[in-house]
Amino acid sequence: MDDRYKLLKPGHRIVDLGAAPGGWCQVAVDRTGSTAADVRVVGIDYLTVEPVAGATILLMDFLDDAAPDKLMETLGEAPDIVLSDLAAPTTGHRPTDHIRTMHLCDVAADFAIRTLKPGGHFLAKTFQGGTERELLTLLKRHFVSVHHVKPPASREGSVELYILAKSFKGKRAEVENLQDEVEDPRVHDQADEEAGPLG
Protein backbone atom coordinates (compact mmCIF):
# COMPACT_ATOMS: atom_id res chain seq x y z
CA MET A 1 0.00 0.00 0.00
CA ASP A 2 2.82 2.39 0.80
CA ASP A 3 4.46 1.64 -2.56
CA ARG A 4 1.25 2.87 -4.18
CA TYR A 5 0.35 5.83 -1.98
CA LYS A 6 3.83 6.97 -0.80
CA LEU A 7 2.70 7.70 2.75
CA LEU A 8 5.84 6.96 4.78
CA LYS A 9 8.59 9.57 4.45
CA PRO A 10 12.02 9.92 6.06
CA GLY A 11 11.67 11.74 9.37
CA HIS A 12 7.96 11.01 9.79
CA ARG A 13 6.61 10.03 13.20
CA ILE A 14 4.32 7.00 13.13
CA VAL A 15 1.83 5.42 15.52
CA ASP A 16 0.99 1.76 14.84
CA LEU A 17 -2.20 0.61 16.59
CA GLY A 18 -2.51 -3.16 16.86
CA ALA A 19 1.18 -3.65 16.13
CA ALA A 20 1.38 -7.46 16.43
CA PRO A 21 3.12 -9.29 14.86
CA GLY A 22 5.30 -6.26 14.04
CA GLY A 23 5.43 -6.14 10.25
CA TRP A 24 4.08 -2.61 9.89
CA CYS A 25 6.55 -1.35 12.51
CA GLN A 26 9.43 -2.88 10.56
CA VAL A 27 8.37 -1.21 7.32
CA ALA A 28 7.74 2.12 9.10
CA VAL A 29 11.19 2.03 10.75
CA ASP A 30 12.87 1.31 7.43
CA ARG A 31 11.07 4.06 5.50
CA THR A 32 11.19 6.77 8.15
CA GLY A 33 14.79 6.18 9.20
CA SER A 34 13.76 5.65 12.83
CA THR A 35 16.65 4.57 15.06
CA ALA A 36 17.20 3.61 18.69
CA ALA A 37 18.73 7.07 19.24
CA ASP A 38 15.82 8.85 17.52
CA VAL A 39 12.70 6.69 17.78
CA ARG A 40 9.99 7.84 15.40
CA VAL A 41 7.81 4.72 15.38
CA VAL A 42 5.67 3.72 18.36
CA GLY A 43 3.41 0.69 18.30
CA ILE A 44 0.90 -0.70 20.78
CA ASP A 45 -0.71 -4.12 21.25
CA TYR A 46 -1.92 -6.27 24.14
CA LEU A 47 -0.16 -9.19 22.42
CA THR A 48 3.59 -9.58 22.88
CA VAL A 49 5.56 -8.35 19.85
CA GLU A 50 9.16 -9.27 19.16
CA PRO A 51 11.41 -6.20 19.54
CA VAL A 52 11.82 -4.12 16.38
CA ALA A 53 15.06 -2.14 16.24
CA GLY A 54 14.23 1.54 15.91
CA ALA A 55 10.68 1.22 17.29
CA THR A 56 9.13 1.33 20.75
CA ILE A 57 6.26 -1.10 21.20
CA LEU A 58 3.97 -0.69 24.20
CA LEU A 59 2.48 -3.85 25.69
CA MET A 60 -1.00 -2.61 26.54
CA ASP A 61 -4.56 -2.52 25.22
CA PHE A 62 -5.28 0.54 23.07
CA LEU A 63 -8.76 0.65 24.60
CA ASP A 64 -7.18 1.27 28.00
CA ASP A 65 -8.00 4.85 29.04
CA ALA A 66 -4.30 5.56 29.63
CA ALA A 67 -3.15 4.28 26.21
CA PRO A 68 -3.56 7.43 24.05
CA ASP A 69 -1.61 9.63 26.47
CA LYS A 70 1.08 6.96 26.84
CA LEU A 71 1.45 6.75 23.06
CA MET A 72 1.83 10.51 22.70
CA GLU A 73 4.25 10.73 25.60
CA THR A 74 6.40 7.99 24.06
CA LEU A 75 6.32 9.46 20.54
CA GLY A 76 7.19 12.93 21.82
CA GLU A 77 5.43 14.85 19.04
CA ALA A 78 2.22 14.70 17.05
CA PRO A 79 2.28 11.81 14.55
CA ASP A 80 2.45 12.30 10.80
CA ILE A 81 0.62 9.00 10.25
CA VAL A 82 -1.65 6.83 12.38
CA LEU A 83 -1.80 3.23 11.20
CA SER A 84 -4.44 0.91 12.63
CA ASP A 85 -4.41 -2.84 12.13
CA LEU A 86 -6.79 -3.27 15.06
CA ALA A 87 -9.24 -6.14 14.68
CA ALA A 88 -11.42 -7.87 17.22
CA PRO A 89 -11.04 -11.65 17.56
CA THR A 90 -13.37 -13.17 15.00
CA THR A 91 -16.45 -15.10 16.05
CA GLY A 92 -17.26 -16.57 12.63
CA HIS A 93 -20.45 -14.50 12.52
CA ARG A 94 -19.69 -11.89 9.88
CA PRO A 95 -22.13 -9.14 10.99
CA THR A 96 -20.85 -9.38 14.58
CA ASP A 97 -17.22 -9.36 13.48
CA HIS A 98 -17.91 -6.33 11.30
CA ILE A 99 -19.54 -4.36 14.12
CA ARG A 100 -16.75 -5.17 16.58
CA THR A 101 -14.01 -4.20 14.15
CA MET A 102 -15.87 -1.04 13.14
CA HIS A 103 -15.90 0.01 16.79
CA LEU A 104 -12.11 -0.31 16.87
CA CYS A 105 -11.91 1.66 13.61
CA ASP A 106 -14.06 4.43 15.15
CA VAL A 107 -11.80 4.63 18.21
CA ALA A 108 -8.68 4.71 16.04
CA ALA A 109 -10.15 7.46 13.85
CA ASP A 110 -10.99 9.54 16.91
CA PHE A 111 -7.40 9.18 18.13
CA ALA A 112 -6.05 10.18 14.70
CA ILE A 113 -8.24 13.29 14.50
CA ARG A 114 -7.18 14.37 18.00
CA THR A 115 -3.45 13.82 17.50
CA LEU A 116 -2.35 14.04 13.85
CA LYS A 117 -0.27 16.86 12.44
CA PRO A 118 -2.00 18.91 9.73
CA GLY A 119 -1.40 17.13 6.43
CA GLY A 120 -1.08 13.76 8.17
CA HIS A 121 -2.71 10.50 7.11
CA PHE A 122 -4.84 7.76 8.70
CA LEU A 123 -4.91 4.15 7.45
CA ALA A 124 -7.10 1.58 9.17
CA LYS A 125 -8.30 -1.97 8.70
CA THR A 126 -11.99 -2.62 8.33
CA PHE A 127 -14.07 -5.41 6.75
CA GLN A 128 -16.07 -5.46 3.56
CA GLY A 129 -19.73 -5.16 4.28
CA GLY A 130 -20.00 -1.41 4.25
CA THR A 131 -17.89 1.01 6.23
CA GLU A 132 -20.29 2.82 8.52
CA ARG A 133 -21.67 6.03 7.02
CA GLU A 134 -20.96 8.01 10.20
CA LEU A 135 -17.26 7.13 10.06
CA LEU A 136 -16.95 8.07 6.40
CA THR A 137 -18.73 11.36 7.05
CA LEU A 138 -16.39 12.10 9.96
CA LEU A 139 -13.27 11.34 7.94
CA LYS A 140 -14.42 13.34 4.91
CA ARG A 141 -14.99 16.31 7.22
CA HIS A 142 -11.45 16.16 8.60
CA PHE A 143 -9.37 14.91 5.65
CA VAL A 144 -8.96 16.12 2.08
CA SER A 145 -9.65 12.67 0.57
CA VAL A 146 -10.91 9.27 1.73
CA HIS A 147 -10.38 5.99 -0.14
CA HIS A 148 -11.10 2.30 0.29
CA VAL A 149 -8.00 0.20 -0.39
CA LYS A 150 -7.77 -3.54 -1.07
CA PRO A 151 -4.11 -4.53 -0.58
CA PRO A 152 -2.63 -6.89 -3.18
CA ALA A 153 -1.35 -9.10 -0.35
CA SER A 154 -4.88 -9.85 0.89
CA ARG A 155 -5.98 -13.43 0.30
CA GLU A 156 -8.47 -13.99 -2.49
CA GLY A 157 -11.93 -14.07 -0.99
CA SER A 158 -10.79 -12.20 2.13
CA VAL A 159 -13.19 -9.57 3.49
CA GLU A 160 -10.23 -7.53 4.71
CA LEU A 161 -10.30 -3.93 3.50
CA TYR A 162 -8.54 -0.71 4.49
CA ILE A 163 -9.76 2.86 4.64
CA LEU A 164 -7.22 5.57 3.83
CA ALA A 165 -7.86 9.17 4.87
CA LYS A 166 -5.26 11.53 3.39
CA SER A 167 -4.16 15.06 4.27
CA PHE A 168 -5.61 15.89 7.67
CA LYS A 169 -7.08 19.39 7.65
CA GLY A 170 -6.24 20.13 11.28
CA LYS A 171 -7.78 23.28 12.71
CA ARG A 172 -9.14 24.19 9.27
CA ALA A 173 -11.73 21.42 9.63
CA GLU A 174 -12.96 22.88 12.92
CA VAL A 175 -13.39 26.29 11.27
CA GLU A 176 -15.24 24.76 8.30
CA ASN A 177 -17.53 22.80 10.63
CA LEU A 178 -18.36 25.96 12.56
CA GLN A 179 -19.09 27.83 9.34
CA ASP A 180 -21.38 25.02 8.19
CA GLU A 181 -23.34 25.27 11.43
CA VAL A 182 -23.65 29.07 11.16
CA GLU A 183 -24.80 28.83 7.55
CA ASP A 184 -27.38 26.15 8.40
CA PRO A 185 -30.73 28.02 8.80
CA ARG A 186 -31.89 25.39 11.27
CA VAL A 187 -29.15 26.56 13.65
CA HIS A 188 -30.37 30.15 13.37
CA ASP A 189 -33.96 29.10 14.03
CA GLN A 190 -33.00 27.12 17.10
CA ALA A 191 -30.92 29.99 18.48
CA ASP A 192 -33.81 32.43 17.95
CA GLU A 193 -36.25 30.15 19.74
CA GLU A 194 -33.91 29.69 22.70
CA ALA A 195 -33.30 33.46 22.96
CA GLY A 196 -36.99 34.22 23.25
CA PRO A 197 -38.77 37.40 22.14
CA LEU A 198 -36.77 40.66 21.96
CA GLY A 199 -37.61 43.65 24.16
CATH number of the domain to which 173 belongs:
3.40.50.150
Is 106 part of a structural domain of the chain?
Answer: yes
Is 136 part of a structural domain of the chain?
Answer: yes
Is 137 part of a structural domain of the chain?
Answer: yes
68-92 pLDDT, tens per residue? 999 999 999 999 999 999 988 888 8
Give residue 101's pLDDT band: very low, low, confident or very high (50, 70, 90).
confident
Give residue 127's pLDDT band: very low, low, confident or very high (50, 70, 90).
confident
Domain count, the chain: 1
117 is catalytic: no
Is 32 part of a structural domain of the chain?
Answer: yes
H or E element in which residue 36 lies: none
Is 199 part of a structural domain of the chain?
Answer: no
Q: Which domain holds residue 129?
A: 2-194
Taking the C-alpha atoms of residue 36 and residue 195, their distance in angstroms, rounded to an integer, is: 59
Give residue 188's pLDDT band: very low, low, confident or very high (50, 70, 90).
very low
Give residue 98's pLDDT band: very low, low, confident or very high (50, 70, 90).
confident
Q: Are 14 and 31 in contact (CB under 8 A)?
A: no
Is 141 part of a structural domain of the chain?
Answer: yes
> Of 198, 176, 40, 44, nearest to 108 (Cα)?
44
Catalytic hit among 9, 117, 125, 150: 125
8-44 pLDDT, tens per residue? 999 999 999 999 999 999 999 999 999 999 999 999 9
What are 149's strand-pairing partners?
Answer: 162
